[in-house]
Structure formats: C-alpha cells, structure tokens
Amino acid sequence: MCVICGLCCTGLLFDIAPLEEPELPLAERLRLPLIQTPVYDAFRLPCPRQDGAVCGVYATRPKVCGTYECGLLQRYTGGEVSLGEAHERVMRVREMTAALRRQVPAGARARPLWDDARAYLDMMDDGLVQPERQREIETLKASLSALRTTIRQDLDP
C-alpha cells in the first residue's frame, strides 16, 4: 500500500519526523536534514531520500518510517478499505497537491507545500491588494483548505 503512496514523507502530513538519539549517526549518514534540540531530535520533511513515491533508503530507514501507520493504512490492513479505494484516496490527495504545486512557487530549499503557500500568500498580500489579486488569494486559500480536509478524511494521519 505505502509503495503507491509515500505521502507521509512529503511534508504534507507532518513537517518533521522524530528520531531516537542512537539513530543520529545513521541519520547523518543518510544525509537527512537534522533538527537537534534539548528535548527532541528529528529530521525535516519533505525527506530528501524519497525517490518518487518510494523510500530510496528503505533497508536503513529510521525507525519512525517503519512504524508509522496512517489511518488509511490501518483500515486497509484491517480489511475495512480495499486496495482500489485506498488507491483512489491517495490519487485524490496527489492530484489536489499537484494542482496546488502548479500555483505555488517553490522556495529556495525543499519545504512543505504549506510553508511555500504561506510565503506566497504573504508575498501576494501587500496591503494594497487589487480585486483580481484578492480573488486569487481567496481561491488559493480555499484550495488549501480543501486539501487539508481531504487529507484528514482520506488519509486520517
């Protein structure tokens, strides 16, 4: 199921993934973008080791990557959702995300769609917004909101 999805590696569901302290050397070897704080260790998403929809370092991926299961995966493995239905849900989220990605310029470094969208909206909203631009802003906000709702309903992170 996850090999046709990979959405939890993209920053759409979470912007960081937690690491256990003993995993730090491995994470450095994998060149994951580390975040180290006095209270937790993690790496930033989107993950640079994702290759298409699949993990490019599958055999050595951090523990959280092997243990995380979204609600959709749980329902699929529990037999409540068929592979066809799961695929449909994943494709819906993918298509909505791709449409938004076409509207929102990417930042200088890879970051979640939400961060790029926030930066773009801030840039568009200069306090002297023309009606046409205002409509564009509202449409983009509505699309972002629809994507959030769809992720919640279809993937149940």
Q: What is the binding site for ligand SF4 (CB under 6 A)?
A: 1-2, 5-9, 17, 47, 49-50, 55, 57, 61-62, 65, 68-70, 72-73, 155
Q: Token pair 């092997």 is at which residue?
A: 66
Rg (CA), the chain: 17
Instruction: List, as own/partner pairs, every contact residues 48-53 make where C-beta atoms lie below 8 angstroms and the sequence separation is at least 24, other chains included.
Output: 48/110, 50/6, 50/9, 50/10, 52/6, 53/3, 53/4, 53/5, 53/6
Least distance in angstroms from the C-beta of 30 to ligand SF4: 7
Q: How many whole angstroms separate alpha carbon 92 and alpha carbon 7?
A: 12
Least distance in angstroms from the C-beta of 49 to ligand SF4: 4
**Which is nearer to ligand SF4, 64 or 137 (by Cβ)?**
64
**Which is nearer to ligand SF4, 68 or 114 (by Cβ)?**
68
**Which is nearer to ligand SF4, 75 or 118 (by Cβ)?**
75
Least distance in angstroms from the C-beta of 150 to ligand SF4: 13
Least distance in angstroms from the C-beta of 136 to ligand SF4: 30
Q: How far is Cα of residue 137 from the mean position of the Cα atoms in its chain?
A: 22
**Which is nearer to ligand SF4, 15 or 136 (by Cβ)?**
15
Question: Among 42, 40, 66, which Cα is nearest to 55's?
Answer: 66
